[in-house]
Structure 1
């Protein structure tokens, strides 16, 4: 399945089965058509991030929240609720009051967890109203420079010569970096022990502290450490090289043509949140992301800005829940 000759996992069309009606993804701000939600907000708006601080989802949430308060005329805070691969924070948001005062910015764990866990505290199709598809970033395979490994081939050779001697950290079970690490083991035919953390920040810190030798993480929290030389990037899981990391190859370039995985960030609200609040938040989030200074800041930090409205986020959910369910099954990962 995941070797050099295999085809990429197919995507099933689940739109009819889920009852989702998908329109064209919004690609521009709603601008003057947006109606100010009457009386909103009158108190602090809380954005739940289901991971620890300093990871890509937290970085995106704090970037958005820094501007969203002024944009909607209120106060916006970030509330990190890490644990259980994102399920704790996502579940908390799903069962919050649908009044626009508790929101969620989440990662790909939102669409991976339905296939990875036997039971999760939310329905990805019905418990949330999409606000916006914010951005995405490739995952990166990192090593401690002191390890003396400078390529994926050398990593595989070391792992085969010294079975079970290496371990890798990830932002948590079920995250796309975790699955990238498992795919790495499959394509290399090696045994490397997984050490899950509560977010990308702690996962990256674990390799800096010498707890693990390898880390699979989304690019944003690792990017400055790659540039400084504190960490060495062996490969990216994107289709193309990153614009300012020209020396880091992709797994595709190395011959593993189906080895593509990214970590996205999506903005959602509990289902039945008033449509006018969703419209306002969507328009303002997209405006923020399309501000040149913010867009460049995010790109330089390892994000590809998407800035699509609710339909873009809804389509991603419809596409990726079955996609990752299939990847988990074919990787032989048993539901937790």
Structure 2
């Protein structure tokens, strides 16, 4: 699948909405007046998820939205808006001035796309404010049940015996799964073809059907398929083995010391949102991610709840950007 047409749409979208974004930046006083009222939020909050339903982003977003709604006293509804590697949703959020639109931050949209695209219709650093890192999700390396490899060592041997004949899918160029597998390819010196999709859901459909050989996917989205035997986990990207999959070794202990790969999800707002609202949201995120029900739900899907401060999240994004800028350059990853 080739999302190039969608990416062209994103650039057209950027041209159409650029005026709105400029207006929001030019008149911050008009926007801030909405927050002068003590009752913010005054209406339901929209949480944009820049990917198709069915992946780890869906699980984290809905868990966070449910708990945030309880704390803030307003509904937080999740709206999936995939396309162009997440840039369509990012542009819409950046241009929003209603004071009630947020976006689910992700390794791809905040740490990868700024270096994978030659030009974006928004500035990732200037047009968004970090609120809180919500959760980290382990990346699992899996194959479909028909691939003759029981573990990572056997898969690497198979890939070396059949260079270019095996493929792996991802939720799109620059997605966490794309980065994770390219990271593995560099570490193990193998050649496996990349097939990008528009989201984890469509990718999993082909992986389960045997039309894809392998993938790296966030644990929450595929743990049930591993348990049922429809997919085989050959390694985890974590530092230590997962309690849910104690028999599966990490990539590091499979012959690649120091290897680690996890996805992450945070909450971000348009730059037009006043700091008072950001602080209120950050406090709500901290409570939400520490709520026993949310914690149990996320950890049951192997996600690690965080809920930190805007400053901590901002520093984390900077660290991730520096890390993946190097990986993108070495793997020569470019947007279609």
Q: TM-score range by the shorter chain?
A: 0.7 to 0.9
Higher relative contact order (CA 8 A, sep 6+): 1
Paired position in structure 2 for 1:242: 242
Paired position in structure 2 for 1:205: 205
- Point out the structure with the larger helix share: 2
Paired position in structure 2 for 1:260: 260
Paired position in structure 1 for 2:101: 102
| CA deviation after TM superposition for structure 1 residue 37, in Å | 6.4
Alignment gaps of 5+ in structure 1: 1-34
Paired position in structure 2 for 1:190: 190
Corresponding residue SS for 2:254 = coil
Paired position in structure 1 for 2:44: 44
Corresponding residue SS for 1:307 = coil
- Normalised by the length of structure 2, the TM-score is 0.84
Residues 84-109 of structure 1: per-residue CA shift (max 9 Å, x gap): 22122112211211x43110112111
Corresponding residue SS for 2:53 = coil
Alignment gaps of 5+ in structure 2: 1-34
The answer to whether the 8 A contact 1:115-1:335 is kept is no
| CA deviation after TM superposition for structure 1 residue 258, in Å | 4.1
Write the distance in 1 (CA, Å) between the matches of 2:121 and 2:264. Answer: 20
Paired position in structure 2 for 1:331: 331
1:291/1:332 CA distance change after superposition, 3 Å:
same
Write the distance in 1 (CA, Å) between the matches of 2:37 and 2:128. Answer: 19
CA RMSD, 1 decimal: 1.9
| CA deviation after TM superposition for structure 1 residue 36, in Å | 11
The answer to whether the 8 A contact 1:37-1:276 is kept is no
Q: Are 2:158 and 1:140 equivalent residues in the alignment?
A: no
Write the distance in 1 (CA, Å) between the matches of 2:306 and 2:200. Answer: 21
Corresponding residue SS for 2:86 = helix
Write the distance in 2 (CA, Å) between the matches of 1:266 and 1:37. Answer: 27
| CA deviation after TM superposition for structure 1 residue 56, in Å | 1.2
Write the distance in 1 (CA, Å) between the matches of 2:231 and 2:316. Answer: 32
- Normalised by the length of structure 1, the TM-score is 0.84
1:72/1:153 CA distance change after superposition, 3 Å:
same
Aligned length: 301
Q: Are 2:44 and 1:61 equivalent residues in the alignment?
A: no
Corresponding residue SS for 1:278 = helix
List structure 1 runs of 4+ shifted beyond 6 angstroms. Answer: none
Write the distance in 1 (CA, Å) between the matches of 2:267 and 2:298. Answer: 16
Q: What is the 5 A alignment of 1:140-289?
A: 140-289=140-289
